[in-house]
Structure 1
Amino acid sequence: MSFCRFVYYPNNKSLKCLNKQQWRNIKQPAPEIKPWLSDKG
């Protein structure tokens, strides 16, 4: 099973799944990108 981290983009209301490599490449995520599981909204 591969690593998968969901991020939510409110601007275009889309969910994306990032693998470990992609997630590692995001050093400072933009404010609109939030880990889906921690977003209770």
Structure 2
Amino acid sequence: MIYLPICVGLIMHGLQQAKFNQKKAAELLGLTYHQLRALLKKHQI
């Protein structure tokens, strides 16, 4: 079983809830669009 950092799990959950719309996912997670994009790049999602 692969264990992902909590951050990655939260990001993926937010993306799934927003149907992979990054702008909506960022709003759900309390982030700006650019903050979400930086996290996606950092964690190679």
Please, what TM-score do these two structures have when normalized by structure 2?
A: 0.25
Higher relative contact order (CA 8 A, sep 6+): 1
More helix by share: 2
